[in-house]
Structure 1
Amino acid sequence: METAESILAFWFGADSDDARTAEQKKQLWWAKDSAADQEISTRFSACTAAAAQGALDEWRADPRGLLALILLTDQFPRNMYRGLPASFSFDAQALRWCKQALEQGDDHRLRPIERVFLYLPLEHSESLADQEQAVELFQQLCNEVPADQQAVFAGFRDFAIRHRDIIARFGRFPHRNAILGRTSTADEQAFLQTAGSSF
């Protein structure tokens, strides 16, 4: 079984510089790569199931453990079940852990690049209140990082704003409709024809 530290090492690597980490890991984090999806599924699917069943709840006592749980339930399912409804099936649990971490101030015990992924369950939520909180947190994060890293974190903030604006407009993410069997409105169908409508 994987540990919280082995999960974080896989996701973030060993470089202590956040901007270099973001550059080195961007393919893993953001690209649609079937090989990476398969690796994550093979290596981490049992851990994701264990996390969802409460078998790893002891990890919640530590900020890095909570972050590992969030990766298992927010990020990894999007790789393991890409294009399937199951890719979103752990979102509610990830969001609960995200909010627990925020209530405890755990985000301030993590590196800035780690905080990005702690906050992402809010950005993945179809609640406008969660989206507004995500934008606020990403803006704060952008303000706190050193000047030479602000461009990287401004990019994360801008993505949060784009997500928030979609939820403000539609109340949901239209690009999920086909996956989840939801019927798109005419406005959503038109939106889905525009560049950048999917994430």
Structure 2
Amino acid sequence: MVGPEKVLEFWLDHVGPAGWYLADDAVDAEIREKFMSTWEAARDGGLSMWLTYPSGTLAYLIVTDQFSRNMFRNDDGRAFSMDAVANAAAKRAICKGWDMKIDAPARQFFYLPLMHSENLCDQDRCIRLLVERMPQQGGNNLLHAQAHREVIRQFGRFPYRNAALSREDTRSEVAYAQAGSYGHTLRQIQTKQAA
């Protein structure tokens, strides 16, 4: 297990903004190698001290919300297994104003657990926070937040998680997948904004 400083150094400096949202097998493997035991400690409730200060909470959110998605990419339910704890930790930190103690672009990791939530109120709140607290840097994140919210408005869940979570697809979700899934939603929003 590593400490929060190592998590932040790796994610913020080594991977950096250019690599945060790329599907890169080498980065995913490196995260598994370096941080699996840290993720397991978080899963087992062993990182509670990280949640007592802003940068520790940021590291905790990266481990539980971001590393989960990297380590268990491609139809593995563990990718979403820490979403509830990441969501709760993010909300506590935001209420304390700790997100504002972290410079952008790293501040976005306080809001992504809300974007990843299958709850419409969380989706709305994510958009408000990006607009209010990251107005200069939130552009691409705001677009994705709007797309995530639209998916939740339409289905009440993210259909592209169904296989990983052993959920049955509805007819409308099958049609959505055939139409292009999330990419289709993203293009629709971009078209509306350009009009």
- Structure 2 length normalisation: TM-score? 0.88
**Alpha-carbon separation, structure 1, partners of 2:81 and 2:134:** 30
**Alpha-carbon separation, structure 2, partners of 1:180 and 1:59:** 28
The aligned counterpart of 1:17 is: none
**Alpha-carbon separation, structure 1, partners of 2:68 and 2:11:** 14
The aligned counterpart of 2:28 is: 37
The aligned counterpart of 1:11 is: 11
**Alpha-carbon separation, structure 1, partners of 2:139 and 2:121:** 21
Question: CA shift at 1:87, angstroms?
Answer: 0.8
Paired residues for 1:88-99 under 5 Å: 88-99=80-91
Q: Deviation digits for residues 70-89 of structure 1, max 9, x if unmatched?
A: 11111101111112011111
Contact 2:147 2:182 in 1 (8 A): no
Seq. identity, %? 38
Paired residues for 1:70-149 under 5 Å: 70-83=61-74, 84-143=76-135, 145=136
C-alpha spacing 1:191/1:75, structure 2 compared with 1 (3 Å): same
Question: CA shift at 1:182, angstroms?
Answer: 1.1
Gaps of 5+ in 2: 187-195
Contact 1:135 1:161 in 2 (8 A): yes
Question: CA shift at 1:61, angstroms?
Answer: 1.3
The aligned counterpart of 1:188 is: 173
Letter paired with 1:118: F
Of 132, 137, 141, the residue aligned with 1:156 is: 141
| Secondary structure of residue in 1 paired with 2:162 | helix
Letter paired with 1:112: A
Over the aligned positions, Cα root-mean-square deviation in angstroms equals 1.8
**Alpha-carbon separation, structure 2, partners of 1:122 and 1:132:** 9
Q: How many residues align?
A: 183
The aligned counterpart of 2:191 is: none
**Alpha-carbon separation, structure 2, partners of 1:93 and 1:193:** 32
- Structure 1 length normalisation: TM-score? 0.86
**Alpha-carbon separation, structure 1, partners of 2:179 and 2:129:** 28
Of 51, 62, 67, the residue aligned with 1:60 is: 51
Gaps of 5+ in 1: 15-20
